[in-house]
Structures are given as C-alpha cells and as structure tokens.
Amino acid sequence: MHDALTGLLEQKAPVDRETWRSWWDQLGAGGLDKAEVLALLASLTSRLPDHETLRHLLDSLAERRPAATVTTPWEGTVNVVGTGGGPKTFNISTASAFVAAAAGVKVVKTGSRAYTSSLGSVDLLERLGVRLTSSYAQTEDTLAAFGIAFAGPFVYPAQLTRLARTVAPTSMKPFGRFLNALGPFLADLPVTAQVTGVSAAAPIDTLRELAATTTTRRIWLTTNDTGADELLPFATNTIHGDRSPTRIIRPGELTPGDGSFGDLRPAADPAGAVDHFLSVLSGTAGRVATRTVCLGAAALVVAAGTRRDWPSAVSLAEEAVRSGAAQDLARRLAAAAAAAAPGRAPATAPAPATAPAPATAPRTLAVSSV
C-alpha cells in the first residue's frame, strides 16, 4: 500500500509533498493498480483530509504542470466556479458569468459536467452551443472578443485524467464530493480574482485555509444559511475574503428579500434547458431568478474591481439584463462557435446581434475532469 493511502487512512499526520510526488510518479509509471487508486479516491471522498495535506497535494500537482504559456496575468479578470451540492437550481453561476461579462467584467468560467446535479455547466454550454476553449491563447482571444470565456480541461492537471483512466470503467462520479470541493483550487488560470460558491456539502473551514495559502489570485468563498453554493437574495450570505474582511449580505439589503428555491428550479425537461437559461438572461424567468443572477454577477463586478460598492454593482448587473445585453452575449458566443470550423479558434469579432442561438450543439466538447 502506498504511503499516501496509508497516511490518509491513519490520519496521524499530514501527507507531505514528497509522498504525493511519489504517488504521481508511480501513477504515471503504471505502478499503482485500480484497487489502490479507487481506495485513495474513496478515502478523499468519505472525509476530506486536513488543509495541509490538501495544500501538499495541490502543490505536488502544480509543480508538474507544463511550462507556463501565459507571460502576463489577466488583470481585472475573475474566475467563477462553485463546489456544487445543495438544493437543485438552474445554472446560476453560469448565468451570473454572462451577466457580469455583459456589464463589462472580464470573466473566465470553469466548471464540469454534472456530478451531483442533472445538468452541469459544461452540459448546459454544450446544449447552448458554446465551446470550451482549448488553450490559454484561445482563452485570451475569446476574452478580448467577447469579455467572457469558458475554459476547457487544459487548465486542470493531467494527472486527473490519468486517475480516471486507471479506474475505468468505474465512473469518477461517485467521487464528485471530493472533486467538486477541490476543483476550484485545481484550475490554473492567471486571473486577478476568483469567486467560489461553497455548499454545505463542502468543508468551508478547510477551503478557507486553502484560500489563505493561495498566492496566485484573490479568492472569495461564498456561503449562505440555506446550504447552496450561490449568493441568494432570500438568504443570509457570507463572503469569506482571503485579504479582506468577511462580508455578510442579508435578505433585503441589496435586493428585495422575498422568494424561495421554487423560483430557481431548473427546467423540468433538460431539453428545455437552453430556452429556460436564455429566459433567465433576458429577465423573463421571474423576478427572483433575475435578482439571484444579478447578485451573483455583482460579486464578480466587485471582486474584479470594476465597482467598489455593492449597490452600484447590482445596478450595473440589472442593466445588463434589462437592456438585453446578457442574452445577446450568449447568443453571439454560440453563433461564433457554430461559425468556426472544427479545429479553429473562435471568431475574433462578435457576430451580429441578431444571430440566433442554435437549439442544440454537437457533442464534440472536451470534458473537464472536475
């Protein structure tokens, strides 16, 4: 049994970086069998270890990344990603990303296919016709053209793919709790800030410790008293900042505080997810849905430094919805992806505002490992 697995099971001391290095070395050399890899994943999923073990794990993966292809940080750009879990809703953070980008914020969204829900962000984007980017250069080009980009699996450590291949045909879905919790810290993006919604299923104290030791970007972790991984107008929300005081947003403080999860239900039939999502972006899915995505977008506006005060950030987001800019952005991004030939980068200029969004998208998108 490898020392990494022994250490996780015994929990007598943090598993150090050297031990994780040995684990990845043996995994790459084919020296670990399926049973041992499954046991390690099961251990990480059943009980997330201490933050020191996780920091060593993250650092051991970071040092194996290929030489950086990005020479300068993406100033003023914010990544939005959640841990998943909690009550089922439509894809709030994806909608908030479009609204914030339409309001003038540079946004990179990372995410995955569904682990704990019926439709993850990647599943929705595929149906919408929006392609994930496949390189840092392509991501930069898409950001320059549209102000928003959805990063593909290239931002994640290749060792995750190796784990998945080793346990195949066993699905990685049973380990979603661990992958969702740690996923927001695995993506390698040179953004200024990151806003991560944390559900009650994830260990907020451990994630706060990880955020405090992350030096490449400013991280906000958001929680609320409903257990969802989103900011909600009808909940008491807490924003845990790594370099700023904790901020509490109560119902009625920035938007009216009425509403419930019944107002945020996903489409009853996944086939209707695109139409429902576009109605959210246009503000026709109900007042609570609009308030929710605007509150989430406001967090991105403030985190990126586009606005300093929350009330003006909420107003900016509301205007992006009211004017039709958010829905138009989603349609243009989908139209550009449809117009791009296979293997080519997305269009470097926005498509006409009247370009229709395709009803479905070909299943050619890369699948994120987390």
What is the SS3 assignment for 231-286? CCCCCCEEEEECCCCCEEECCCCCCCCCCCHHHHCCCCCHHHHHHHHHHHHHCCCC
Q: Is the peptide bond before 266 cis (omega within 30 degrees of 0)?
A: no
Domains detected in the chain: 3-62 (1.20.970), 74-151+187-327 (3.40.1030.10)
pTM: 0.88
Q: What are phi and psi of 76, to 5 degrees?
A: 75, 10
Q: Which of 38-42, 110-114, 274-278, 340-344 has the lowest mean pLDDT?
A: 340-344
- pLDDT, tens digit, for every residue of 165-216? 999 999 988 898 888 889 899 999 999 999 999 999 899 999 999 999 999 8
Write down the mean pLDDT value for the chain. 88
Residue appearing with tokens 């003006």: 312
CA distance linking residue 151 with residue 155, whole number of Å = 7
Tokens representing 361 are 């998208």
- What distance, in Å, lies between the first and last C-alpha atoms of the chain? 26
User: What CA–CA distance (Å, rounded) separates 293 from 78?
Assistant: 16
Give the confidence band of 87 by pLDDT, cuts at 50, 70, 90. Answer: confident
pLDDT score at 311:
97
Across 52-68, average pLDDT: 90
Q: Which residue has the tokens 């992350």?
A: 214
Question: Rounded to 5 degrees, what are φ and ψ at 250?
Answer: -100, 160
Angle, alpha carbons 106-108-109 (nearest 5°): 140
Of the pLDDT bands very low, low, confident and very high (cuts 50, 70, 90), residue 5 is very high
Q: Which residue has the tokens 């914030």?
A: 100
Q: In this structure, how many other beta carbons lie within 10 angstroms of the beta carbon of residue 358?
A: 17
Dihedral sign of CA atoms 188, 76, 81, 43 in order: positive
User: Is residue 84 very low, low, confident or very high in pLDDT (cuts 50, 70, 90)?
Assistant: confident
Structure tokens at 324: 């039709």
Residue 221: what are its φ and ψ, rounded to 5°? -110, 125
DSSP classification of residue 200: T
pLDDT band at 356 (very low <50, low <70, confident <90, very high): very low
Residue 274 pLDDT greater than 60, yes or no: yes
